[in-house]
Amino acid sequence: MSSSTVYQATCSAPVNIAVIKYWGKKDTTLILPTNDSLSVTLDQDHLRSVTTARADASFKSGDRLWLNGEEETIKAEGRLRRCIDEMKKLRQAKESNDSTLPKLSEWTVHVCSENNFPTAAGLASSASGFAALIASLAALYELQPEVSSSELSRIARQGSGSACRSLFGGYVAWQGGEDASGQDSLAVEVAPQSHWPDLQALICVVSDAKKGTPSTAGMQRTVATSPLLQHRIKHVVPERMTKISQAIQKRDFDTFAEITMADSNNFHACCLDTAPPIFYMNDVSRAIVQLVEELNRANEAEGKGKLAAYTYDAGPNAVLYAPKANIATILQTIRHYFPNADFDDTFDLLGKGVNASH
């Protein structure tokens, strides 16, 4: 905070990669998912959004937002508008309890957000972006600790579903909820990063081209046309949520890997079951699947358990999870079979989720 008429806060938020995938909404305005999901939060040194929110009594022209240096329109009924309004409502409630507070809820806010990775790289920039927006407004309006991170996740969810999971570090579940108003649709911590620091993530950037079918449109086409998605929602995800949470608690990599890979494959099968079908993985993505499956088979034949788990989001890039000791072997093998592949370094998983110390 600087002078008496300018208030400013900066926060960063991480990317998360789901191991149980969110795909489908039962309410497209409130962003209520058709199933629960669970993710692992990545290290902010490599992938993060950094956002500064500034309230200034002299700002006159209405709330404004810049993303990577370009101004975005805040549409009247849009997601950005809803998120900013919800945060202002929380500030207003705080002000109504304490008349000495400046009425920041009535001031115009300017927001400036940047990613430290290419937005087009298909690496879940909307998740870290909306999480950083909510975190910076929460810091600007001094909402915490009275307002919990789960309560903030309920608002981040209305910006982009997967963003609710980026308010936490480590292992995070998005509980879809039953309530039609979305009150119980929020993220909770399953375990902090410190619980299982031996697990690492490796991202293989197969292509940094923008994806063909945006997630928001793609998932509703799946909801409207895929019988397999209905099976997934009712009979596949609930049991997997329980089992993978237990595997995380027990640091059981074999079970974690088995469920992660099965869920990625089930999600992409639902995409293929959509009319017309959606293809996110390409030939290189599939070759990496075969390579990891073969490495796991060979390792298991020696009685050593699985080497790695693969998972793919709405794009061709592979995210591999593995115990630290296996990373060198994985990198070496991938480099051998994909000598021209452009992939990033290894990532330690994140400890704290949102970070306000910039």
DSSP string, 33-54: ESS-EEEEEBPTTTSEEEEEEE
Query: Does residue 258 belong to the site contacting ligand 2P0 (CB under 6 A)?
Result: no
Residues 6+ away with beta carbon under 8 Å from 313: 17, 18, 21, 122, 124, 280, 319
Query: Does residue 263 belong to the site contacting ligand 2P0 (CB under 6 A)?
Result: no
User: Closest Cα to residue 74, out of 23, 133, 15?
Assistant: 133
Which residue lies nearer to ligand 2P0 by CB, 176 or 192? Answer: 176
CA distances, 271 to each of 3, 59, 160, 218, 229 (Å): 52, 46, 20, 8, 9
Write out the binding residues for ligand 2P0, residues 206-245 only, by CB under 6 A.
215-216
The correct pick among 51, 162, 166, 226 for binding ligand 2P0 (CB under 6 A) is 162
The correct pick among 35, 313, 321, 327 for binding ligand 2P0 (CB under 6 A) is 313
The half-sphere exposure of 206 on its side-chain side, counting CA atoms within 13 A, is 22
The correct pick among 7, 11, 14, 21 for binding ligand 2P0 (CB under 6 A) is 21
**Residue 220 CB neighbours (<10 A):** 15
Paired tokens of 3? 């002078």
**Total binding residues toward ligand 2P0, as defined by CB under 6 A:** 14
Which residue lies nearer to ligand 2P0 by CB, 136 or 158? Answer: 158
The correct pick among 13, 15, 18, 133 for binding ligand 2P0 (CB under 6 A) is 18
The correct pick among 14, 161, 169, 170 for binding ligand 2P0 (CB under 6 A) is 161
Spatial distance between the Cα atoms of 69 and 77, rounded to a whole number of angstroms: 23
Candidate ranges 6-14, 156-164, 186-194, 338-346; the one touching ligand 2P0 (CB under 6 A): 156-164
Binding positions for ligand 2P0, rule: CB under 6 A: 18, 21-23, 31, 37, 126, 160-162, 215-216, 313-314
